[in-house]
């Protein structure tokens, strides 16, 4: 059995250059020096899925361990809508409307009263999933929430983990609201396209 000759530095350099060029052409062609078209299969993005998630969002201001906290209060002469108030949240997302039901994740972010005329929030939050196949992945919601409408629609603008390149929308409908302390339970139905 004959032994093969060792690879020379020149051969190794040529092989390295060829492999690099192969990767560059496989990944995509550079455009304008800083952008290139990509083959999504190389990133593991094969078939797009369409999923429906349902959970209950618990906005809790009361008690010893609130999940929502007012961080900015509007001045006394502000509009009747509370324009300018901002709250930070780390709200439980549960399977059922009771806060004691199975925890599916957390809604983390903030919302603020963004209208001078009516009660409408700007909401920016991540739904961080902690159960099942999507454990550790997030869906990002950013949109207008006109609180007293029966059903509010907000866009899903992206995500992380198994929700990379996610898009879709979320429907929010109030299940329960306590005007004396501000606590609320909201049902979220999220429809999302993802890979």
Q: Is residue 90 part of a domain?
A: yes
CATH number of the domain encompassing residue 53 = 2.40.480.10
> Total structural domains in the chain?
1
Torsion of CA 144, 149, 155, 161, to 10 degrees: 110
- List of the chain residues with pLDDT < 50: none
Residue 40 domain flag: no
The DSSP 8-state label assigned to residue 91 in this structure reads E
Q: Which long-range contacts (CB under 8 A, 24 or more apart) does 10-15 make?
A: none
Task: Read off the pLDDT of residues 172-187 as tens digits, 9 standing for 90 and up.
Answer: 999 999 999 999 999 9
The sign of the torsion formed by the CA atoms of 88, 93, 97, 101 equals negative
Q: Rounded to two decimals, what is the model's pTM?
A: 0.79
């Amino acid at each position: 059995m004959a032994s093969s000759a060792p690879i020379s530095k020149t051969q190794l350099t040529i092989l390295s250059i060829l492999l690099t060029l192969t990767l560059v052409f496989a990944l995509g062609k550079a455009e304008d020096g800083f952008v290139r078209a990509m083959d999504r299969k190389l990133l593991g993005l094969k078939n797009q899925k369409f999923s429906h998630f349902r959970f209950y969002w618990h906005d809790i201001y009361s008690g010893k361990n609130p999940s929502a906290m007012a961080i900015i209060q509007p001045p006394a002469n502000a509009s009747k809508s509370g324009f300018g108030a901002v709250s930070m949240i780390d709200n439980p997302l549960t399977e059922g409307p009771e806060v004691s039901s199975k925890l599916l994740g957390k809604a983390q972010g903030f919302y603020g009263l963004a209208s001078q005329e009516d009660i409408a929030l700007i909401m920016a939050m991540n739904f961080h999933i902690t159960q099942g196949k999507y454990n550790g992945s997030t869906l990002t919601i950013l949109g207008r929430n006109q609180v007293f409408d029966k059903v509010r629609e907000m866009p899903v603008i992206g995500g992380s983990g198994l929700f990379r390149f996610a898009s879709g929308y979320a429907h929010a409908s109030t299940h329960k609201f306590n005007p004396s302390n501000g606590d609320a339970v909201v049902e979220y139905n999220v429809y999302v396209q993802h890979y």
